[in-house]
Structure 1
Amino acid sequence: MSNQQDDKASLDNVTLNIAVTGNVGTGKSSLVNAIRGLKDTDKGAAPIGDVETTMEPTMYLNPTSGTMPNVNYWDLPGIGSLRFKAETYMKDVQYQNYDFFIIVSASRFKDTDMMLANEIKKMKKNFYFVRTMTDVDVEQEERKGVTEEQTLQKIRNNCLGNLRTLGPPPVFLITSHNLERFDFPKLVNNLERDLLDEKRNALVMSLPVYSQQCLYQKNNAFKNATWAVAITSGAIAAATVPGLSLACDVAMVVAFLTKCYYSFGLNDGSLKRMSERVNKPVLAMVRESSVVVVIAKKSSLTTKMVARLVAAGVIQALRSHVPVAGTITAAGVSLVTTRSVLLEGVKNLYSVAKGVIEMAELP
């Protein structure tokens, strides 16, 4: 349990910096928006345009950064632009500040793609080669009678052939307009495999819900993370609410469940975007969950709001489903009660989010 405690307790303190780089006009900004769960036209989205819009390394947070781990997405200027020469690009963008790079390419493989890959490898940083706008290529080739599978294989072989001297590294074909299509899930799986535990969990929690597998991974991450909160509160004796005696304990529990609520995509912004994309009224079903409603109404959590949250019924609603919570005494066993409440809350939110995914018919 000690390793679990150390890993999960450090989650709120971990920072993951992801650099998105490549040539001008390859869709770097659109990818940054997509992996933050935003459309290009949404408030807070990275700007896109027909000309270079990213003139300096620009950091973008998750739209719900107040509740999610610190995952920073860096939209880097295009290599070979007037201000960022290819020869000094890595130094100019301060490569040492990033955990790994995503090299974004589109259309034809360019010399600068290979130059970037070589330079990143020299700096002993991991990179992942992403070919964007794959849907456009597929549609163009289908009009010529070429199947989607043939087009994907041709693009993949071309990228791998050009990168063969580097290993070759993994290549992922994606479209920022539809993350569940093509290779985005494989990209995420590779990132998870290569990251340390706490950074892996931060990534999983921060990504938008794009598939049933993604939601399942989020659910497991939050279930494991319940240990940190439970252990922290376990040393405090129970008083008014068994196992959740002090205001800080209640605040910790509700804050944790609020992170889960946003990560599972149950907030209004995420639901609205999904409803528009699948043309189905998923919001109405979500509002049937009492726990979701309470968290939604009180999503801005401060210590001063704890009493109102308890009165609103979020803790009681969860405790009513946890038999052990009503029978455990206060002396030294709040860990068990607190974790039971957390697990019940995660279970409740996961059930609602799973229903949303099924209604949206995501794979």
Structure 2
Amino acid sequence: MEALISEVKNDLKNNDPAAAVARVKEQSNQQRNTPLNIAITGESGSGKSTFVNAFRGISDEDDGAAPTNIVEASKEPIPYFHPDYPNVNVWDLPGIGTTKFPANEYLKHIGFEKFDFFIIISDTRFRENDVKLAQEIQKMKKKFYFVRSKIDNDIRAAGRKKDFNEKTTLDIIRKSCDQDLLKQGISSPRIFLVSSFELHLYDFSRLYETLGKDLPEHKRDALLFATSNINLEIIKKKKEAFQSKIKYYASLSACVAAIPLPGVSTAFDVALMAITARDYVHGFGLDKSSLQRLSARTRVPYRDMLAVTMSPLVAGEITEEVMLKMLPQLAGITALMAIEEAVRLIPIIGIIASAGLSGIAIYNVLNYFLDTLAKDAQSVFERSLTGP
């Protein structure tokens, strides 16, 4: 971020505010474009495709969804892009049993080196091919995780018994998977029980936390923002990630204000507000397309999702013109920006005061946007759990 501040200051000294704004947009895009390649493998019918879709926050019926309920035919990896973060690719790999390759040749065939980690899925028990593949992945120094899918089906079936207890049922399934893998030579297997239709239940949250810990730091945000709001903790982590950058944006605004070009500071701040607000809205899944996908997946009407939100930024087009129209509603911010332009006229000390006021204004407005949008994300999440 320090390099960005230096480059923006140089652009403005050269009387090129458009280039300065373009740099901020580019920085925002770079943060969204860290590549993350996730490999999903398992036997045909194990729930791979539905998991691929759920991981991307879409339903099986959405455009671009991985096809389900068909016999696996492809012998090649198929990438599915995240709809909002195209840097995140979830790859549906052919089941090792369908390729007839030994495990080591299978990994070469699919190009194992491009994947950040592997998720091995089964809807019953993990078989010999799954174990051989895991052992070869381990030899290649890559991370792998076992996901036992369709847990919701198991819970419904067990629920018919008189002595049903959900925790006991889950413990039995987990222990059975663990024992099977231990018998086949996998020590300390990491097993996660998941329903692709109810990601907020069972082990998906634990799977996400484990992936985040195992990924390099620069890839964690890519995973974080590509992950749907499956619980309130995810929303909190997204807010914290955004919060950590606000001080840099405030510093950037202050540096711009220190350059004695009338009107440039306000124009730059408005552009910065629009860029950052768009990041917040997309990061929290509050843009129109994300809310429509959530509505389709949960069957909660789209209008009901909107009804629980407060920010005018939700599901709207966020432009510099929209920011300008919002400024009168942010009385304290508008006053600070007006004072900033006024004191700029005072020789020497005016520039220093103007820089400080600009930084404070941006710090306050971005915190305001972030607080209100995080609350809206929480309200939408809670509404999505209540059903139609």
TM-score between the two structures when normalised by the length of structure 2: 0.78
Matched, 1:291 2:313: yes
Deviations 1:15-35 (A, max 9, x none): 111111122221111111101
Counterpart residue type for residue 361 of structure 2 = T
Q: Which residue in the other structure is 2:166 paired with?
A: 148
Q: Which residue in the other structure is 2:178 paired with?
A: 160
Pairwise CA distance, 1:150: 2.6
**Contact 2:305/2:383, CA 8 A, preserved across alignment:** no
Q: Which residue in the other structure is 2:211 paired with?
A: 191
Counterpart residue type for residue 117 of structure 1 = A
Higher alpha-carbon deviation: 96-105 or 324-333: 324-333
Q: Which residue in the other structure is 1:18 paired with?
A: 38
Mapped to 1, the partners of 2:83 and 2:205 lie a distance apart of: 21
3-state DSSP of counterpart to 1:178 = coil
Pairwise CA distance, 1:61: 1.8
**Contact 1:132/1:176, CA 8 A, preserved across alignment:** yes
Mapped to 2, the partners of 1:152 and 1:361 lie a distance apart of: 22
Mapped to 2, the partners of 1:317 and 1:291 lie a distance apart of: 13
Higher alpha-carbon deviation: 167-176 or 147-156: 147-156
Counterpart residue type for residue 102 of structure 1 = I
3-state DSSP of counterpart to 1:88 = helix
The unaligned stretches of length 5 or more in structure 2 are 6-26, 345-350
Alignment of 1:344-355 (within 5 A): 344-355=368-379
Give the alignment partner of residue 222 of structure 1, picking from 242, 245, 266: 242
CA shift in 2, pair 1:136/1:183, >3 Å = same
Structure with more of its chain in helix, by fraction: 2
3-state DSSP of counterpart to 2:256 = coil
Q: Which residue in the other structure is 1:338 paired with?
A: 362
**Contact 2:125/2:180, CA 8 A, preserved across alignment:** no
Counterpart residue type for residue 36 of structure 2 = L
TM-score between the two structures when normalised by the length of structure 1: 0.82
**Contact 2:75/2:99, CA 8 A, preserved across alignment:** no
3-state DSSP of counterpart to 1:166 = coil
CA shift in 2, pair 1:314/1:102, >3 Å = farther
Higher alpha-carbon deviation: 313-322 or 253-262: 313-322
Pairwise CA distance, 1:253: 3.0
**Contact 2:192/2:207, CA 8 A, preserved across alignment:** yes
The alignment of Structure 1 onto Structure 2 pairs a total of residues equal to 344
Higher alpha-carbon deviation: 109-118 or 277-286: 277-286
**Contact 2:33/2:85, CA 8 A, preserved across alignment:** no
Q: Which residue in the other structure is 2:117 paired with?
A: 100
Matched, 1:124 2:141: yes
The unaligned stretches of length 5 or more in structure 1 are 300-304
Pairwise CA distance, 1:98: 0.9
Mapped to 2, the partners of 1:344 and 1:109 lie a distance apart of: 49
Pairwise CA distance, 1:278: 5.9
Mapped to 1, the partners of 2:97 and 2:160 lie a distance apart of: 34
CA shift in 2, pair 1:80/1:343, >3 Å = same
Counterpart residue type for residue 204 of structure 2 = F
**Contact 1:18/1:72, CA 8 A, preserved across alignment:** yes
Mapped to 2, the partners of 1:318 and 1:58 lie a distance apart of: 47
CA shift in 2, pair 1:336/1:148, >3 Å = same
% same residue: 35
Greater Rg over alpha carbons, structure: 2
**Contact 2:52/2:90, CA 8 A, preserved across alignment:** yes
Mapped to 1, the partners of 2:368 and 2:108 lie a distance apart of: 49
CA shift in 2, pair 1:174/1:319, >3 Å = farther
What is the CA RMSD across the aligned residues, in angstroms?
Answer: 3.1
Alignment of 1:1-363 (within 5 A): 11-52=31-72, 54-65=74-85, 70-82=87-99, 86-145=103-162, 146-164=164-182, 165-237=185-257, 243-246=265-268, 250-275=270-295, 277=298, 279=300, 281-286=303-308, 288-292=310-314, 296-299=315-318, 306=320, 308-311=321-324, 313-314=325-326, 317=329, 320=332, 327-328=339-340, 331=351, 332-333=355-356, 334-361=358-385
Pairwise CA distance, 1:39: 0.5
Counterpart residue type for residue 28 of structure 1 = K
CA shift in 2, pair 1:257/1:177, >3 Å = same
Higher alpha-carbon deviation: 151-160 or 184-193: 151-160
Deviations 1:32-56 (A, max 9, x none): 1101110001111111123005542
CA shift in 2, pair 1:73/1:318, >3 Å = farther
Higher alpha-carbon deviation: 222-231 or 51-60: 222-231
